[in-house]
Every structure is written in structure tokens, then in C-alpha cells.
Amino acid sequence: MDFFFHPRGVAVIGATPNPFKSGNTIVRNLIGTHKGGVYPVNPKYDRIEGLVCYPTVQAIPAAVDLAIVFVPAAQVVAAVEDCAAKGVPGVMIQSGGFAETGAGGQAIERRLAEIARETGIRLWGPNCMGLVDAVSGAIYSFMYADDLRNALLVDKLSLIVQSGLISAGFLGDMMRHHTAGVSKACSIGNKLDVNECDVLPVLLDDPDTNVVGLYLESIADGRRFVELCRSTDKPIVVLKGGKSARGAQAAMSHTASLAGNHRVIEGVLKQAGVVEANDFTQMIDLCRSLSYCPESRSGRGRVAILSYSGAAGILSADFLEAMELDVADLSPATRTTLEGLFPDWMPVKNPVDLWPAMEKNMTSGIDVIGEGLDALIADPNVDAVIVTTFAAPGNRWFDPDRAGAASHASGKPVFVWVVGMPESILEFKEKCRRNRIPVFQELYRLAECLAAVLGPRATPAPVPRPFGEPAQALTPELKDALAEATGPLDEFVSKRILKAYGIPTVDEAVMTAAGDAAAAGRFGYPVVMKGLVPEGVHKTEMGLVRLGVRNRSAAARTYRELKRAMAGRGKVLVQKQMDGKIELILGLLRDPQFGPCVMFGLGGILAEAFRDTAFAMAPLSKADALGLISRIRGQALLDGFRGMPAVDRDALADILVALGDLGLAHPRIREIDVNPLLVVGPDGMAAVDATIVLGD
């Protein structure tokens, strides 16, 4: 991939002398920023922008590492073949008109993919804006006009975006408003060949990148992506497009890609320690916060608030609580230090309302905010500080140089909320940016970003281990079912497979006749009886479940009723009736982007009512499984709500690990549904209903 990021010779296919066309902008950008050879390619011209123009890439007498293509889609195949014949290792296709336009464009992409496989040439794009390297100043793109070249701000955050034009517009907006700079901005478009899993390793190894932000409409290789995210200490922020059904349709038409199940993606990204954003601005705010404070991701959340406004302090405290952060209890030493700044009548507490101290010291020359900030940063009970301030011409209320030095020396982030005059705010934001202090004009966004900085890291990826052998031997019947059956297996067979993998199940047996008293009564009455028919997954809706069968005659009568309801087909299952207080749902699905993923949540009737579930990618480590359990909203139910038994989280985690292993061991398993897993006490859980669904 180095030839994309540090090319020596660059050819521009589709170069033109017309200054209003992108083929000319690319050439001018390269002349102004690229330190190697620049070779326009267009058979119509002899010279462009003072450079020799060549009819083909093969006609260029020097070596070419990178070709940037900006010609109509119908001409791109010939251009790439020309590059392959020349031995060019990398091509950026920045023109559009490919898979996002329909069948014709899809056919062109298929041919380009064939060329890449046959020749080994790497193709970046199409339908992209290319690459901007703010550190070197190189612009391998048509996204900047001449008057914007010198506007690039350098920060240690890098971007990978599928979109083209939004990356250009948003990057320009960042620079103009001094929101943040970048190290590298990579627009990868339709991801015909080069995708985020190719570019991300380059940025993770880049010393000029502290954090990577990605806008993705699809994830090309989900398991590889998660592996990369879990392999690094660098924070990663993802904005995923296509969360809604309509958004997914738009994503498919825009980039010809599958958006996937967002609830699965959300869970897997959390498992990998990725911070998920909800819009472009938030993505950049999260990235710059994590870039400026990479050492602060400690998992602690005790925050001090330093404000000139009581209202701002109160709202800050409210937003911190919403983000599950704590308003810090200041140490006695800190209170004593701050009392020296305040008038005698003003008590010191957090949030710290500095206005009375500022009035008292108005003519003393004391930097009240600086002194207060130093005291809070020195407090062992404080992990981060929020400062609210005002920007105006000549204002000296907040010194970014002093605050930045104190913050980075201590490893404690200082986040600033500012209001004031627009011109002064712009100047103030630039001073804060140079000192790596995150500054915001929205308090709630500040709290969101601070929560991300103080949040926990990803758990390490599980140590590779064999997962093909079940805890108990599978019978020949069960092996045959897993190898040959299709669609849903019946409940009895499904639970026998689960039990073989160490997942506890209810005691049960199949009744062979109405007079089969041994099967009906072996568990002790009352019992549950169910009718099992092929494809009959939802037995309750089909009227095939009977609870509270209390004696032998009732069992015989129920058997006959169920057989009639099934028109003589299927079989009747009898189970021990269990008295459980908590119903959980466990599941597994084979996601197209991430493979087998395990689901956990509240089960029974609550499963549909509240949809309180979370996902994680298999294989799960014990830490992954415990993290998955902790992500549902109903934590109180798991911890023993109103006298109910607390769930044994370790035992439950073991079940989730086993469920993931089962899905990995048998690729034909498409889905597993365990609903409910009944918690019958502090030491007992059992699957009382389950279905395994097999693919073709």
C-alpha cells in the first residue's frame, strides 16, 4: 500500500488544460504538493500546465507508482489495462458511474476486479476523492482548489470515508472553522478492491496518526476489521451509514454494498472497543477529543467542573450523569486551595462557580481560572476537568497554553465549553487546537466526547483455541442432522445438540402414545407438553403448548389433543415444568459481515416487548461474554430485583461462550434461538425452548 501513500511518479489519466475540470485540478494539486514526477495522460494534448502530456501511460519514459484516473466509466477498463501493462502497482479511480448507477456500472466493476485478480494491480475506488496527506502537504485528489491548498491544518487524526463529495466538503468545513486538522484523509468510494481493512493497518502504523475515524456504509471483511480494531491501542471511531431500512437501501444504491444488521454491528463494534458516532460532526468531535487525549482512556470518570456561570455548571453536572460519569468529590486540600481565591461568604463545591472569585480578584492580577484549574488537576479525586469560558477581544479569562501544559503533564483531560464573539471564538479554538485541548460550543457534545475519552478500552481478542469438539459426544443421529438436514430442527433435537456443548437444558422426553405414563410422569407432575411439527418453530402461536398438566389422565388427554391439532403428524414432547423468575433469550446468527454472532437479552414475552438485546462476534472469550451481559439495559433484573434470584454471570458467560463455539464448529448452522433460558435460582439455569436453523 506504500505506493498509494508515498508514490514517486504519478500519472493523471484524463488530464486536461481546462481549469474548470477536475482532470486539471488533479494536475495542479500534484504540481503544488507532490515531490516526485507528475505525468499528465491524454492523447489530445502535447502539454498541460507546462508538463509534457503523454498519449498513454505506457508512453511515459519514467517509472510510475500511482495512476489517478478521471475519465468516463466506459473508458476506465482500457486505462487500467494500460497501467497494468506498464507495471503500475496502484490506481486511484476517482471518476464515478460504476456499480452505484446500476447493471452497466456493475459490469464494468466486475471486469476491473478480474483485471486486479489477474495482474495483481491494486485499485482504489472508484467513485472516490482519493487521498490527502496534510503532514506532507500532498493532495492526490481533485477535492481542493488552489486557494484552499494552504488551509490544511495538521492534527494526529486520520479519516477513512466511503463517501466522496461529503469528505471534501466536510474536510473544508473543518479547516475553515478550525474544528480540527487531519493527518491523512482517505476517500475509498465503492471499495472495488482496496477497502478499509487495507487502509486501516497503514494508519495504525502511522506515527502521525493517534486516532482513526471511519465513515462506512458497509464493512468489507467484518472479522478482519474487528481483529484490526482489537490489535491496537489507538482509538477508532466509526460512523455507520445504512442503519435504517431506507438508509440501507440508499447505501446499496450509493455504493452497491450491503449495509447489514445494525444491531449486530453496534454490538460487535462495542466488543471491539470502537466508539460509534451518530453523525459527521460528532465523529470529528470524538476523533479530535481522543486524538488530543489518547493517554486518558482509563475507565475512570470523576470530573471537576470549573465555570463562571452557575447555570453552565448545573447543566454540565446533568449531562455528566447522563453519560454515567461522576461529579468528583473534591479533596480537603483542593477545597482549602480554592477557598483562598473565594470571598469568605462563598462555599467551595463541585461544580466550582468561579464568578465570585473573579470579582474578588478583578484587580489583583491573579489568574483565577488558571489557579483554580491547577488545583483541580492536582486533586487525586479528579480524572478530568470541564472549563466553561467566554471568548471576546482582549479576553484573558482562559489561557490555553497554561491549561494545555497542565493537562498533558498530568494526563488529565481538560475540556472547554466556550461562548462569545464569532471572530474571538475562531481565534480561541485555534489556540486550543494547537495546545490539544478539546473545545466545544455545545455542552452535551462535550459530555459525549469526554465520556468516550474516559471510557474503557476493548477487551483483548480471545486466545485462539479449538472449538470443534463438544463437551459431550454427539450421537450419530445428531451428527447426521447437523450434516444433512435443512431449515429448523425440532426443539427436542436442537436441545440435545445444545446439551452436548455444555448448555443446560430442561429435562424432557418424547411421548410415544397416550398411555406412555412413564414418559409423562418421570419428571413429577405438573409437566409441560408440546406438539412438535416440521417447520413449526412458533409452537405457542400454533396452539401446541400446554402448561400445568397435573396427572396421568390429563397427560393422556393432552397427548390426544396435540396429535389431533397436528393432524396426526409430528411428536409430543413432555418436559419438567420449571418455576423460574427470570427469562432470558440467547441466540446466534450468521451475519454476512461478521460471521457467527451471539445474542443475549431479556427473554420470554419481554423479548418482543422491549427488544433489550445485545450482540457480540464469536468466538467469545469469558471477558467478551461478561461484557455482552453487561450491555443490556435490564441489569437490575440480573442482579436480583425485588427479591428475585441474582443471575450467576460467570455461569451465564460460559453458556454464551459455548453457544458461539457451537456456531463456529458447524458452518451449516444459520441461526440458534434459545427462548427462554429460565433462571430458576442462584445456581440454576436451563433452556426450556430452543431451535437450531440449518442452511442449505
Take residue 633 and report the three cell numbers written for it: 439495559
pLDDT of the residue at 79: 97
271 vs 82: CA distance, rounded Å: 44
Take residue 316 and report the three cell numbers written for it: 454540565
Any alpha helices (H) in 323-438, and if so which ranges? 332-339, 355-360, 368-378, 400-410, 422-434
Q: Is 388 found in the same domain as 332?
A: yes
Take residue 441 and report the three cell numbers written for it: 460550543
Q: Is 204 found in the same domain as 103?
A: no
CB 107 within 8 A of CB 74: no
Domain limits for position 673: 582-694
Q: What is the CATH number of the domain that holds 554?
A: 3.30.1490.20
Q: How confident is the model at residue 85 (pLDDT cuts 50, 70, 90)?
A: very high
390 vs 359: CA distance, rounded Å: 15
Of 159, 170, 138, 168, the closest CA to residue 211 belongs to 159
Q: Is 56 found in the same domain as 191?
A: no
Q: Is 590 found in the same domain as 527?
A: no
Of 297, 279, 280, the closest CA to residue 234 belongs to 297
Which run of H or E residues covers position 629?
helix 622-630
Residue 330 falls inside a structural domain: yes
Q: Is 331 found in the same domain as 285?
A: no
157 vs 415: CA distance, rounded Å: 18
Domain finish residue from 453, 473, 493? 453
pLDDT of the residue at 592: 87
pLDDT of residue 126 exceeding 90? yes
Residue 491 falls inside a structural domain: no
Across the range 304-312, mean pLDDT stands at 90
DSSP 423: H
Residue 271 falls inside a structural domain: yes
Q: Which has the higher per-residue pLDDT, 677 or 300?
A: 677
Q: If you average pLDDT over every residue of the chain, what do you get?
A: 88
Q: What is the CATH number of the domain that holds 42?
A: 3.40.50.720
Residue 395 falls inside a structural domain: yes
Q: Is 260 found in the same domain as 154?
A: yes
618 vs 596: CA distance, rounded Å: 6
Q: What is the CATH number of the domain that holds 447?
A: 3.40.50.261
Of 14-23, 144-153, 235-244, 595-604, the poorest mean pLDDT is in 144-153
Residue 500 falls inside a structural domain: no
Q: Is 448 found in the same domain as 303?
A: yes
Which run of H or E residues covers position 93?
strand 90-93
Residue 480 falls inside a structural domain: no
Q: Is 179 found in the same domain as 304?
A: no
Q: What is the CATH number of the domain that holds 677?
A: 3.30.470.20
pLDDT of residue 254 exceeding 50? no
Q: Is 288 found in the same domain as 301?
A: no
Domain count, the chain: 5
pLDDT of the residue at 457: 63
CB 476 within 8 A of CB 446: no
Domain finish residue from 438, 453, 468? 453
pLDDT tens per residue across span 576-634: 998 887 899 999 999 988 999 999 998 876 666 667 899 999 999 999 999 999 999 88
pLDDT of the residue at 477: 92
pLDDT tens per residue across span 349-375: 999 998 888 888 877 778 888 999 999
Q: Is 610 found in the same domain as 549?
A: no
Q: Is 545 found in the same domain as 683?
A: no
Q: How confident is the model at residue 177 (pLDDT cuts 50, 70, 90)?
A: low
DSSP 385: E
Residue 479 falls inside a structural domain: no
Of 8, 139, 119, 121, the closest CA to residue 63 belongs to 8
Q: How many CA atoms lie within 13 A of 199 on its CB side?
A: 30
Q: Is 424 found in the same domain as 348?
A: yes
**What does residue 241 show for φ and ψ, rounded to 5 degrees?**
-85, 155
Domain finish residue from 553, 576, 599? 576
Residue 425 falls inside a structural domain: yes
Amino acid at residue number 141: S
